[in-house]
Structure formats: structure tokens, C-alpha cells
Structure 1
Amino acid sequence: MKIKNETKVGVLAAFAIALLIIGYNFLKGNSIFSSETVLYAKYDRVDGLGVSKPVLINGFQIGRVDQLTLQPNGTIVATLKIKGKYDIPKNTIARLESTDLLGGKAIVMNLGNDRNYAKDGDTLNANVEKGLMETVQPVQKKAEQIITKMDSILTSVNSILNPNFQKNVDKSFTSIASTLGALEATSKKVDALVGSESSKLSGILSNVEQITVNFKNNGAKIDAILANLNTVTDKAAALNFKQTVDNANKAIADLQGMVADLKGGKGSLGKLLNDEEMYQNLTSASKNLDNLMIDLKANPKRYVHFSVFGGGNKKDK
């Protein structure tokens, strides 16, 4: 029996359409020949979650997200298709977790301990875990702050470690090295000097020790000598002070006697002070001497005669 070409084309077209449907469902993750269990989970937000995202238990994929539906109250209902037959307790939590740093999400089943298992069409408890980026964000901010501080520190260090500063540091280290060398040389000289004069130093220290011992042994005698010296000094000072006072009193008494004699007219000076007639004579003699000096200045020729040519005396006409 000969098959017509139209039949062949129809069969081929039907096979191609079936193959296309099977391939499309396969790419979407739909099971074509096996049974699936449909479960639901409600979320307040589903950032990063999309259709065909995996449903995992301990990292093992048991299904996929088939559909996301926005509810009037703003919640999102995720339709989960589970391949095969798995015993999932009713109190299992369908947690939305991040799977990578790029924000990809998956639904991870945290199996509960209920003995009753979820059936087709049941709604599981849902929970949204913070994404990896949300968890890393505080650490990222701290890292950025640390990097900023490190950048400022490195900038400061770079500005400090300029060529001139490096030269100055090199010079400073060179000076310090030379100073340490000089100190080392001086230390060696001092060590050599101490080594060569150690015997003399030992003798000096021994003599000092002996002197100290003598002072210690003769402390009482030294104290007695100092006490005697203080006593002698005090007596001498007291004696000299008494003699000085006596001399002063005697001088004052003599002066008082002299004044009394002057007042009584004793002696030449006393008579001169107390004789009225002698005072009048002295006054008269002083006056006559004054008149004589005036006349001498007025008429010098009366008292002095001389000739330039050595001639004889001439009488006044």
C-alpha cells in the first residue's frame, strides 16, 4: 500500500510539533513522562528569584520554580513543582536563599519533623534569608573605610619619604654611626686607662677606706676636740668683747673729764675759753692788724724804700 505524500507531511509535522513541545518543556525543566507534585510558598519579596530557579534539599535539586504570582495584598506566591515522590513534612520551611554573589536565588527546603507529609497543592511556610551581598555589605563598607585610611596613610608616608627627607635621614644615620664609632673608641680608651691604672685606683680606694675607718674609730675624739674648740672660741669672743666695752667706757670718762676741765678754766685752752680780757685783746689785735694791712695796701712807700739803680736814699721834699 502506497502512503500518500500528504500523509507523510502530516505525520512529520505532528512529530515535529510534539518534539518541539517536549524540547520546550525540557528546557523549562518540566517533566514530561514523570509525575510532579505542586506545592506553594508565599513571600513578601522575591529579589533575584525567577521561573525555573531550583528547589534544593541539602544542595540536591528536587524541583523548580514554575510560576510567580503577585497577590492583591502585595505578597508573591511561588508555584513549586517537585519531581518524583519525596516525603516533605508539612512544617518544612521553603527558605529563599542566595546562591552566588551576583544575587541569584534558589528555594532551599529546611525539612521539618512533622510526621504528616505535604500533599499536592499544599502551601509551605516561607522565609527569606538575607542575601550574600546584604550580608557582605557591612564588611564591604568597613573594607572601604580601611582602604581609604590606608590610602591617606600611604599618601602621607609618600609625601614624607621624599628624596630630600631620605637624604636627611641618610645623613642622620651616618652621623649617628660616626658618633657611635667615636663613643666606642672613647670607651676603649677608658677601658685601657682603667686597666692600666687599676692598681692605683685600688690603692686610692684602700686609702679612702682606711681614712673612713679612722674617722669612724676616732669619732668621739673629734667630737671632743670640736667641743673644746667651740668653748675656747666662745671664751675668747666674750673676753675681747668685755675688754672693748671697758676701753670704750674709759675713753668716754676721759672725754668727760677734759670737757669738765675746759669748762672750769683749767689749762691754756680752758683759760682761753673762759678769760674775757684775753678775748677782747685778741679782738683788738685782730682789728689793728686789719687796719695795718689796709694802710699797707694803700701807702706801700711808707713802709718799703728801694732804687732800681742802686742809688742812696732820698728824702721826701
Structure 2
Amino acid sequence: MKVSREVKTAVLVLSGIALFIYLFSYLKGEDLFTNTDTYYTQFDYNALSMSSAVTVKGNKVGKVEDIKYDFKTGKTIVSFSVNPQLEFSKNSIIRLYETGIMGGNALAIVNAYDGQTAKPGDFIQSEVQPGLITSLRKNFSGLSADLDSSIRTADTLMSNLNTLVIDESSDGIKATIAELNETLRAFRSLSISVQGMVKQNENKIAGLLENFENTSSNLDSLTLELKEAGLSKTVANLDKTLIALQDVIGQVANPDGTIGKLLNDDALYNNLESATKELELLLLDIKLHPARYRRILSKKEIPYEEPTEDQMN
């Protein structure tokens, strides 16, 4: 069965939208194909990042979903999600620990194995593992009020930035998808326009390509013919001919040469002019008195008369 171009385009558009939604959710730290349970805890300060690992006995079972600053209590509220198969007591402790110098921090669930089982949405108590973070916490009370205010302000700024970047509302996703749809429609309209223009000028484009191919073939043939005809030899012969012609011109311009004397001698010019004039008078006389030259053998001589100016004109 032949699939139409419109169906292919629709499948491509839908695949692009699905991929965009998946990547958008992945950047937000969400997995569309996995169900999770969400719990909450709090700390005196924030030492975590989005998608930080949540572990049980060193095994990753979840990740940090959201970090917010509570302006009323001055605490950092952390929401994290875990695999729904994991069951732990509500009396358990959420421990903040260091994963390494370059590895950042993570949360560990320390199960108490007593009391009620924690349910999604419950608030779990927290602690900080002794280490660099603990030292910072112990010295935190000794810092000045200005430093405390600066840190809280920076915390607020990061929280606001997170709010701007991480849009959990459905309206944000809908707006993004709508913009993507508009972009895809524009691309589709452009593609249809280009396709129509190409279809309308298909014959012209084919003729242009054919002419270009013929021209290229003719150029190849001409190049081959010139190569076989010995163009370099022809150019060399022409160069020799020009040199010989230059020598001839030089001899003509030489006043001591035969041709130079003929061209530059005034006496020769005057003699030629005089001879031409006499020849002109002779022809005029033959024209005016033809009988004189028909009776050359006659004893009667006809005297020569100088032609008048009217006769000469």
C-alpha cells in the first residue's frame, strides 16, 4: 500500500511533538514512562540540585524533583520521588550526604523499620551526614547578619530562577506545543510553496540542466580539439610571425633602406607627382583629340594644343 505524502508528514510532525515533550520532561527531571511516589523533607540550607539521586543502602531508587525556599520558616523544602515498590517507615530519616568532591550531594533513606509505613505526600525528617557540609552548618551561626542576608537573597534568586525555568503547569507545556505546531505549520507551508514552484518550473529546470550538460560537453570537446590541434605550436608560430613582421616594419622605418628611401625621399614623390600629372594630360588629350592618335602613321601632323581649364574640369 502506498502511503501518501500527507500521512508521512503527519507522522513526522507527531513524532517530533512526542520527542519534544519527552525531552522537555527529561530536562525537568521527570520520566513519563515510570510511576513514582513523591515525599517531602527539609534542610537548613540547600546543598542539592535538581535530579540529585535518592538512594537506599547505596542503590538509587529515586531522584530529587523540586527544591523550594520557604520564606516563613527559612527552610529549604525538598520534594523527592522514589519507586512505588519501595516501602519504608514514616519514622525513617532522609540523610543528606556527600557523594564525592566532584560528585555533588545526594539523599539517602535510612529506614527505621518501626512505626507506620510512609505514604506518598508524607513529610520525612532529615539529617546531614558529618563532613564538610556539617562543618559549614556548625559555623553558619557565627557568620555575620549581612552574610546571612546575602545567602538568603541568593537562595531566593535561585528559587525564582527555578520557578521561571521549571514550568510544571500544563499551560506552559500547551503553549510550548502550540508554538511548535505554528513552527511546523510554517515549515509545511514553505515546503508546499517550494514544491509547487519546482513543479511549475520543472520543464525549465530540466531544460536548464540539459543545456548546462550540453555546454559542459561542448567545452570538453573544444578543449580536447584545441589540445589535439596543437594550440601551443600555433601560438609559437604566431609569435615567430609577429617577430618577423616587427623586423619588416623596422626595415621600412629605416631611412637608409630601399623601402625607407621610397617612403622618405621627397624627390621621388615630386617625380611621381609630375609623371602622374603628365599622364593625366596625355589621357585628357587622347580623349579630346582621338583622331590625332589614330593617324600616327599619317604624314599629316596635328599640332598639340594646351587644354583649357573647362576641358580639364
Question: TM over 0.5: same fold?
Answer: no
TM-score (norm 1): 0.39
TM-score (norm 2): 0.39
